[in-house]
Amino acid sequence: MSCKKGCCKDGEKKSIIVRVLAVIGVIVAVAAIAYAVYKFVTPDYLEDFDEDFDDDFDDYFSEEDRV
């Protein structure tokens, strides 16, 4: 399927380009789906940390001390 100068028709070159772009598109789509699943499945530890910090802050200071 290699094209040498003058042996391939324009249609064959376009077909090869379309196939290559289709393969790249499939790879990008699979990677995007895998990333979305990963972000959905992994827990958000930073959110838990922020909530714990806010609770400790409330224990030491009252509503009147806040600016």
pTM for the predicted model, two decimal places: 0.53
Tokens of 10: 């324009």
Average pLDDT estimate for 45-67:
58
The answer to whether the beta carbons of residues 16 and 1 sit under 8 Å apart is yes
Q: How far apart are CA 17 and CA 11, in angstroms?
A: 10
Rounded mean pLDDT of the chain?
A: 76
Decide if pLDDT at 22 tops 60.
yes
What's residue 26's pLDDT?
Answer: 98
Task: Give residue-wise pLDDT tens across range 28-51.
Answer: 999 999 999 999 998 777 666 555
Q: How far apart are CA 6 and CA 23, in angstroms?
A: 26
What's residue 12's pLDDT?
Answer: 84
